[in-house]
Amino acid sequence: MILRYRDEMNLRFPNLTFFIDVGGRYSHEKEVPIVFAGVAMETGVVSEIRESLLAAAKGPLCKWSDGRRSKESAAVIFRMLSKRQLLAVVRTVWKNTPEWDQYFIEGERLYDIEITKYQRPMPYAKPMANFKLHQFGAVCADLLGNYSWRHRNKLPRKVFKAFK
């Protein structure tokens, strides 16, 4: 859909880059939630923002699993997001609900049926793989929708009417 409107927009709506990450454990374990986060920015400023972020962090950012520096890295990242007014989305999935149990049980049941039917491993049909792809898609949809709303003046009128 976006490609179809590109000519009508006279290329005013920018190319976007999404950075998406996940923290937590992909398992049925209920103790640790899964957190999906994403940031949207115009592709033309990615290098500049990367350099600014590395300079503010005084070197490479730590991995989420490195608990010793995670507070300092998080503070640097959030200061950068607010200073540049970048759009960010965070989705936290708490795994201590009956819906989570039902999703996991039903997903495993369907996976077992499919591998029996096709007689081969199907790693992308596992419930956690589907869950991860669905959540990444949801984060991208939130980022694109929010970015489009924020910059709705750059959209053609007929696209903007769809937001109402």
As a residue count, the chain comes to 164
Give the separation between CA 88 and CA 82, rounded to whole angstroms: 10
Give the pTM.
0.74
CA 55 to chain centre: 24
Helix (H) or strand (E) holding 27: none
At 3-52, the pLDDT tens digits run: 344 444 454 678 899 988 888 777 777 888 888 989 999 999 999 988 88
Asked whether the predicted pLDDT for residue 159 surpasses 90, the reply is: no
At 55-108, the pLDDT tens digits run: 887 777 766 556 555 677 778 888 888 888 888 999 998 888 898 889 888 988
HEC string for 50-65: HHHHHHHHCCCCCCCC
- Do residues 62 and 70 lie in contact, with contact meaning Cβ atoms separated by under 8 Å? yes
User: Which three-class secondary structure state does DSSP give residue 161?
Assistant: helix
Output the pLDDT for position 65: 59
At 110-148, the pLDDT tens digits run: 888 888 888 887 877 888 888 888 999 999 999 999 998
The DSSP bridge pattern shows strands 16-23 and 87-93 to be unpaired
Look at residues 149, 163, 126 and name the one whose alpha carbon lies nearest to residue 13.
Answer: 149
Give the separation between CA 98 and CA 109, rounded to whole angstroms: 16
Output the pLDDT for position 6: 46
